[in-house]
Structure 1
Amino acid sequence: MRSSASAVRENGERMGLLARIVDGEVPLATALPGGDPWGVAARGSDRRDYGGPAIVPTVWQLLRLAQDAKRVGAGGKETTTYPEAMDGIGIGWESKAATARRRRERDAAVAVEVLRLTCEKCGANDGQQCKTRNGWAADSAHVGRQRQAETHVDERLGFLGENPVAVPDV
Structure 2
Amino acid sequence: MDIQAVNIPACNDSGPDVVAPEVDQGARHCLQLLSNAGLRPTRQRLALGQLLFLGGHRHVTAESLYEEAMAANAYLSLATVYNTLNQFTEAGLLRRIAADGLKSFFDTDTSVHPHFYLEGEDVLVDVAEGLAFIKVPEALPGHEIARLDVIVHLRRKRT
TM-score, scaled relative to structure 2: 0.25
Q: Relative contact order (alpha carbons < 8 A, sep ≥ 6): 1 or 2 greater?
A: 1
Q: Which has the larger radius of gyration?
A: 1
Q: Which one has the bigger strand percentage?
A: 2
